[in-house]
């Protein structure tokens, strides 16, 4: 888990920390407000544990002095005594056992408060990050399809996973460590300046050079490590492609070719990795030489001060330990700053989604049931109180997809569907059939014209209530990876058992469901892979029956089924279409002979309208030509 997070963190882009970007990061703290008492408790424990640990080098030095008989037994009397200094005066510094007891007490206190710090910060980070994930997912559920059209699903998923994980680590670890290192650096240097100013100035002349050199090497190694990961990723792509198309590889007897291709990729990985290893070896050698060289230099200068009586051996020992603390803090701040930069980038990407406008007038999912404040919302509520009858009118509708504004998909579409009518949309691929359905579902906003439902523009309906009036049985049925019962109940989540069973019976699905050992509790697998095509279609029909929509949309639900499954699905569809306004997207024209009206689309226009018989005898008609083409294809098969 740690390794996986580290890979994510290393691959995340760094964003310069400016006033605005840092404010954006702090904006995420709104999710921590409910847990501010835990956060403050954790912050107190962090500061206390960091501060008390800085007493460790001081008393270690006293222990050394005590061992050589250099202690007087009490602390020197300060000019302005306080309660703290009075407490220090009474510490048992006159014996090795007394000082060792103090050191043990420091370690125990530091351990207790470190545990409490992790305890409090973990609860804050886990609960606040869960709140961020919920808010993100809630927002994703309300965003329009235009948002998803312009982004890959993997990119959106990374907001919920990688970016939130990065923020979680930042709030629970990085910020805490940043505060700890800064406190160690500032307080440690202050102590050294007060106790041993001469040796401190000497030390400060050495450490910055070592730190800067370490940062240079570290940056170079991180860059080369990323190159190694990139090359390894390319090699893994070869494996993934080959295994996914293994039948094709074997068909063309290209096993040797693929092995050579993978070997070539691995050779590149090895070359880059060896280069990285050389730099890493040089870096390690430099660090070892620098650290011990720096210690030798400080010891050399400090030994001279001990020899002249300007400081004791214990003070020198404490100074060395303080120096190690400070050096570690300076070295760690570079990485911590880089992690903060990545966190700023992650917070900006998260805020980008949270600030996206929701589709239609859905608003927040948490406030959809709240009282409407605007006049438009009041009107909207009136439109959704009564059951719609299903009269649909398209008036001069024009549309181009936001991602392809230069391609006019629909041009001046006018059509009327009366309540209870069954109409079909036919035409070549790309004619605009699916686009009409997507506009009716309000997946996109119109460019021009309007769509009316029961004489009211569909934009005036509250979006969720409006979509409750529509039901769809797609050609490619999408089932969720739960049980059959859960998938049917998706059409009406609060449905009781008897309603679900009745819907399954009407969809001609109950018989095959009962044939499974688990019945309704049968798991359908990811996307319904454990069911046949006909079974999935009937589950989808049962779901639509349970929803009981006013307007039904059928996207050629029988086009890819065998004869037996097709007949069962057709019978179920007849039950579903009774007394409903039904729109059928037809690919196989033999299935729409009995509809009330057929609209023929060609290049975004409605070119023909009529019944099957009327259009079949239209001279030079598009529909008649399509029927002839399909009949010719059928006779050939």
Residue 462 per-residue DSSP state: -
β-strand partners of 393:
416, 452
Helix (H, G, I), strand (E, B) or coil at 171: helix
Give dist(CA 19, CA 456) in Å, integer: 49
The answer to whether 10 and 226 have CB atoms below 8 angstroms apart is yes
How many residues are present in the chain? Answer: 637
As a whole-number percent, the residues of the chain with pLDDT over 90 amount to 2
Neighbour count for residue 409 (Cβ, 10 Å): 22
d(CA 454, CA 449): 16
Q: Given pLDDT bands bounded at 50, 70 and 90, which one contains residue 375?
A: very low
Instruction: Determine the Cα–Cα distance for residues 360 and 378; give it in Å rounded to an integer.
Output: 15
- Per residue in 358-371, pLDDT (tens digit) is 876 544 444 443 33
CB 552 within 8 A of CB 576: yes
Count CA atoms within 13 Å of residue 89 on its CB side: 11
Highest mean pLDDT among 66-80, 288-302, 476-490, 554-568: 476-490
Residue 227 has pLDDT above 60, yes or no: yes
pLDDT top residue among 568 and 146: 146
> Is the pLDDT at 173 greater than 70, yes or no?
yes
Mean pLDDT of 113-138: 86
User: Cα dihedral angle (150, 154, 157, 163), rounded to 10 degrees?
Assistant: -100
**Pairing state of beta strands 597-602 and 392-399?**
unpaired
DSSP summary character for residue 415: E
Domain spanning 392-636: CATH superfamily: P-loop containing nucleotide triphosphate hydrolases (3.40.50.300)
Q: Looking at the predicted structure, is the pLDDT value of residue 88 above 60? A: no
Mean per-residue pLDDT over the chain, rounded: 77
The neighbour count for residue 219, using CB atoms within 10 Å, is 12
- Provide the pLDDT for residue 69: 63
Write down the pLDDT at residue 369. Answer: 38
Q: List, in sequence order, every beta strand (DSSP E) within 421-579.
A: 422-427, 448-453, 456-457, 470-473, 551-555
Q: Is the pLDDT of residue 81 over 80?
A: no
Dist CA 106 CA 83 (whole Å): 19
Per-residue pLDDT of 281-327, as tens digits, reads 777 777 677 767 777 777 787 888 877 777 777 777 878 887 777 77
Distance (Å, whole) CA 492 – CA 544: 9
Report the alpha-carbon distance of residue 593 to residue 611 in Å, rounded: 8
Task: Say which residue, 439 or 162, is predicted with more confidence.
Answer: 439
**Residue pLDDT, tens place only, 11-61:** 555 555 666 666 666 677 778 788 888 888 888 888 888 888 777 777 777
CB contact at 8 A, 214 and 265: no
Residue 626 predicted with pLDDT over 50: yes
Token pair for 430: 């790309």
pLDDT at 444 exceeding the cut of 80: yes
- More confident: 333 or 470: 470
In CATH, the number for domain 16-195+332-358 is: 1.20.1560.10
Predicted pLDDT of residue 218: 67
pLDDT of 607 over the 60 cut: yes
pLDDT for the residue 394:
92
453 forms bridges with which residues in the sheet? 392, 456
Ranges of each domain in the chain: 16-195+332-358, 197-310, 392-636
């Amino acid at each position: 888990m740690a390794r996986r997070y580290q890979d994510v963190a290393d691959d995340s882009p760094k964003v310069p920390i400016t006033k605005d970007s840092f404010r954006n990061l702090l904006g995420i703290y709104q999710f921590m407000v409910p847990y501010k008492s835990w956060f403050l408790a954790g912050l107190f424990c962090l500061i206390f544990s960091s501060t008390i640990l800085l007493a460790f080098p001081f008393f270690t030095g006293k222990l050394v002095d005590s061992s050589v008989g250099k202690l007087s037994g009490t602390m020197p009397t300060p000019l302005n005594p306080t309660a703290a200094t009075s407490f220090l005066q009474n510490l048992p510094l006159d014996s090795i056992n007394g000082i060792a007891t103090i050191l043990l007490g420091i370690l125990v206190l530091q351990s207790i408060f470190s545990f409490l710090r992790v305890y409090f910060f973990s609860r804050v980070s886990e609960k606040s990050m869960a709140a961020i994930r919920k808010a993100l997912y809630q927002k994703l559920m309300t965003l329009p399809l235009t948002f998803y059209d312009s982004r890959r699903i993997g990119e959106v998923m990374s907001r919920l996973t990688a970016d939130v994980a990065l923020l979680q680590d930042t709030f629970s670890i990085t910020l805490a460590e940043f505060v700890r290192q800064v406190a160690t650096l500032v307080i440690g240097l202050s102590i050294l300046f007060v106790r041993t100013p001469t040796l401190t100035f000497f030390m400060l002349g050495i450490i910055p050079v070592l730190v800067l050199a370490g940062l240079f090497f570290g940056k170079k190694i991180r860059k080369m490590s990323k190159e190694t990961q990139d090359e390894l990723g390319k090699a893994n792509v070869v494996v993934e492609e080959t295994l996914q198309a293994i039948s094709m590889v074997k068909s063309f007897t290209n096993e040797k070719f693929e092995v050579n291709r993978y070997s070539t990729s691995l050779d590149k990985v090895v070359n880059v990795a060896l280069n990285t290893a050389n730099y890493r070896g040089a870096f390690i050698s430099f660090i070892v030489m620098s650290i011990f060289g720096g210690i030798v230099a400080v010891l050399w200068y400090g030994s001279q001060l001990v020899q002249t009586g300007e400081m004791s051996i214990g003070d020198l020992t404490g100074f060395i330990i303080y120096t190690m603390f400070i050096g570690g803090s300076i070295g760690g701040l570079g990485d911590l700053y880089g992690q903060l930069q990545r966190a700023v980038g992650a917070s900006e990407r998260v805020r980008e989604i949270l600030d996206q406008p929701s589709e239609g007038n859905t608003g927040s999912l948490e406030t959809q049931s709240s009282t409407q404040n605007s006049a438009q919302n009041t009107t909207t509520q009136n439109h959704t109180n009564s059951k719609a009858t299903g009269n649909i009118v398209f008036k001069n509708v024009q549309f181009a997809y936001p991602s392809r504004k230069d391609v006019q998909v629909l041009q001046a579409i006018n059509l009327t569907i009366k309540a209870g009518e069954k109409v079909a949309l036919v035409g070549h691929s790309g004619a605009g059939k699916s686009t009409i359905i997507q506009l009716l579902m309000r997946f996109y906003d119109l460019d021009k014209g309007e769509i009316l439902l029961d004489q009211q523009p569909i934009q005036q309906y509250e979006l969720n209530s409006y979509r409750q009036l529509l039901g769809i049985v797609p050609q490619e049925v999408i089932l969720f990876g739960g049980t059959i019962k859960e998938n049917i109940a998706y059409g009406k989540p609060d449905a009781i058992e008897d309603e679900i069973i009745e819907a399954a019976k009407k969809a001609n699905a109950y018989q095959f469901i009962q044939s499974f050992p688990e019945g309704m509790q049968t798991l359908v697998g990811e996307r319904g892979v454990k069911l046949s095509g006909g079974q999935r279609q009937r589950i989808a029909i049962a779901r639509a029956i349970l929803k009981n929509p006013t307007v039904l949309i059928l996207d050629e639900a029988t086009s890819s089924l065998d004869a037996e499954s097709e007949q069962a699905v057709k019978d179920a569809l007849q039950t579903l279409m009774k007394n409903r306004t039904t729109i059928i997207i037809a690919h196989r024209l033999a299935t729409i002979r009995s509809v009330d009206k057929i609209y023929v689309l060609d290049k975004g226009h409605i070119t023909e309208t009529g019944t099957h018989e009327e259009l079949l005898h239209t001279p030079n008609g598009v529909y008649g030509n399509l029927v002839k083409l399909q009949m010719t294809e059928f006779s050939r098969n």
